[in-house]
Copies of this chain bind each other. A is one copy, B any other.
Amino acid sequence: MPRKIVVIGGVAAGPKAAARARRVDPEAEITIIEKEEILSYAGCGLPYWISGVVKEEKELISTPIGVLRDPKFFAKAKDIKALNRTEALEIDRERKVVHCQKLENDGKLEIPYDKLVIATGSAPIELKVEGAHLKNVTQLKDPDDAARLREAFSTACRKVTIVGGGLIGCEMTEAVRECGKLATIVEMQPRLLPGLLDDDLTLLLEKNLREQGITILTNSRVERLEGNDDGEVRKVVTADGREIDTEFVLMAVGVRPVVDLARKAGLDIGENGGIKVNSHMQTSDPDIYAAGDCVEHLASFVCELMLWPMGSVANKEGRVAGTNVAGGEETFRGIVGTNVLKVFNQNVGRTGLTSRGCEKLGLKTTTVVTASPDRAHYYPTAKPIVLKAIVETKSRRLLGVQGIGPGDVVKRMDIAATAIARKMTIDEVANLDLGYAPPYSSAMDPLINLANVMRNKLDGMFEGISAVEVKQKLDSGNDFVFLDVRSQDEYDTVHLPESTLIPLGALRDRLEELPTEGEIITFCKISLRGYEAARILTGRGFKNVKVMEGGVLAWPFETESS
């Protein structure tokens, strides 16, 4: 008797599990159950179809060579029975059947399984506020939503409000601007990308978004939406009384794992709300596996369980589940927590833990921020990036890296993700043998430079201070010398408020201009010269010298020019 494998969910982890199971067991009977019409679509690509970067919807629902991934394709190419427009209503674990309903004719269906994979994914969280059901208020959860957005954005509508400044909110902000609309982001938390980046990097993103003409309202909770007489949304009202004129609202306040079926079937659900699985992606029922956004993933480098709704994780887990339900043996080794996204010309990424994540786990950490060109500075495509590293102070183990800038941030996130997965120390990262040629990198790759600056800091070679802290000092009228050691030309082009210029080359001759006891904060464009200045000053007996990390490039506030 061929093995009966049933997969609930036909978007990412589900089809992957089914396809993998087919390759492992050519004889199995494999069925996918999916509520929607469209199977196996590229959900992460939807913002790019809406913006027009991707021209045709069918590119998102086809194989790379243009074959539509419909039930016929699954039958012919994969020998998999794909039941779309079919809803799984209940899992009967005793009889090992899934009760389903065909949506086109309400017909009931019982599908027996030997092994079951739950891949029910995640769903957008619904914001329960007054007016949420007005016309022109939508979420982005599937191609139908995307089609609605595309249509709306092709009309004369001018003002779009995005509620939620997370990943999807930020990606959609770009799409909205690309469509020629005015965009406002409303975020409840103090910063965009809450939980994903540390504040100092998010501030750089927010600065850039404002330069792109985006209105950003943080610390703003939406209280209600107001409509016109036709029931079309016209206003977003926040708890602090702000009123935003709008003709379209995209709700993007996050997603939650879809676990209703699993819960009803009595499977264990974790503290974060996802299905509990072991490293085989097996649930508390040995014949039922789960994969993708609906499960809790293990961040193995710190032994934490977390939700992490990413297509990359879903696909890997789907493969593991597929192998195991088909009689093979494979384990999933967990995640590190990597996110990358493009917002306008900024490449943004993080991997491992953020500062807040470390705090929650009670880890004592040291952080450092650097700025540098992403490749040989003289190569014409070189663009700056700002990187931040977080290490556990005592063990010097790398815990997290974040980055932002028009340069190649993502490569450095991937390298760091690999280093973090194997618990590398910052000293090991500094020694990595990364590829060097001028079109790709500098002789000291920015990530290696980041590691070396961190080592200098850990070894007491300098005391660092972040741009955010300096700004607080300035705002509160603290007395210190804000020492710019760049050249006069650089200073004239752009300089920071209340800064004093002494170019590095002149510093040794002008030491008497500086207070031996008072606080001095040095910086330059990227704070390499700032660091050298600090070394000179401490070498000459100055007592209280700090380097502003990342220099002018990492300064997320207003600047001045002569």
In the complex, the answer to whether B54 meets A436 with C-beta atoms within 8 Å is no
Q: How far is the CA of A242 from the CA of B53 in the complex (A)?
A: 52
CB-CB nearest 9 A-B residue pairs: A26-B539, A340-B435, A312-B436, A76-B505, A59-B378, A64-B377, A336-B433, A311-B443, A418-B418
Contact with B along A307-319 (1 / 0, CB 8 A): 0001111111001
Q: Is A501 an interface residue (CB 8 A)?
A: no
Apart from A337-B433, A338-B436, A410-B411: 6 A-B pairs, beta carbons within 8 A: A27-B539, A44-B376, A65-B490, A336-B433, A351-B433, A422-B424
Contact with B along A339-371 (1 / 0, CB 8 A): 111100001010100000000000000000000
Contacts of A419 in B (CB 8 A): 418, 422
Minimum CB–CB distance for A74 against chain B, Å: 10
In the complex, the answer to whether B538 meets A26 with C-beta atoms within 8 Å is yes
Q: Which residue of B lies closest to A445 (CB)?
A: B312
Contacts of A78 in B (CB 8 A): 532
Contacts of A443 in B (CB 8 A): 12, 44, 311-312, 314-315
Q: Which residue of B lies closest to A27 (CB)?
A: B539
A336, A378, A421, most chain B CB atoms within 10 A: A378
Q: Which residue of B lies closest to A60 (CB)?
A: B378
Q: Tell me the count of chain A residues lying within 8 A, CB to CB, of chain B.
A: 100
Contacts of A428 in B (CB 8 A): 333, 421-422
Q: Is A131 an interface residue (CB 8 A)?
A: no
A379, A448, A452, most chain B CB atoms within 10 A: A379
Contact with B along A422-434 (1 / 0, CB 8 A): 1010011011111
Contact with B along A27-64 (1 / 0, CB 8 A): 10000000000000010110010000110000110001
In the complex, the answer to whether B410 meets A433 with C-beta atoms within 8 Å is no
Minimum CB–CB distance for A419 against chain B, Å: 6
Q: Which of A506-523 contact B (CB under 8 A)?
A: 506, 508
Q: How far is the CA of A64 from the CA of B505 in the complex (A)?
A: 15
In the complex, the answer to whether A45 meets B378 with C-beta atoms within 8 Å is yes
In the complex, the answer to whether B435 meets A338 with C-beta atoms within 8 Å is yes
A438, A487, A536, most chain B CB atoms within 10 A: A438
Q: How far is the CA of A431 from the CA of B299 in the complex (A)?
A: 12
Known: A319-B452, A414-B411, A538-B26. A440 touches B342 (CB 8 A): yes
Contacts of A48 in B (CB 8 A): 378-379, 438-439
In the complex, the answer to whether A342 meets B45 with C-beta atoms within 8 Å is no
Q: Which residue of B lies closest to A434 (CB)?
A: B414
In the complex, the answer to whether B73 meets A444 with C-beta atoms within 8 Å is no
Contact of A435 among B171, B379, B410, B444 (CB under 8 A): B410
Q: Which residue of B lies closest to A412 (CB)?
A: B414
In the complex, the answer to whether A311 meets B45 with C-beta atoms within 8 Å is no
**13 residue pairs from A and B, CB less than 8 Å apart:** A22-B532, A27-B539, A42-B378, A48-B438, A59-B378, A171-B437, A312-B433, A312-B444, A319-B452, A338-B434, A340-B437, A414-B445, A421-B433
Q: Is A461 an interface residue (CB 8 A)?
A: yes
In the complex, the answer to whether B316 meets A79 with C-beta atoms within 8 Å is no
In the complex, the answer to whether A417 meets B438 with C-beta atoms within 8 Å is no
Known: A378-B42, A410-B411, A428-B421. A23 touches B531 (CB 8 A): yes
Q: Is A380 an interface residue (CB 8 A)?
A: yes
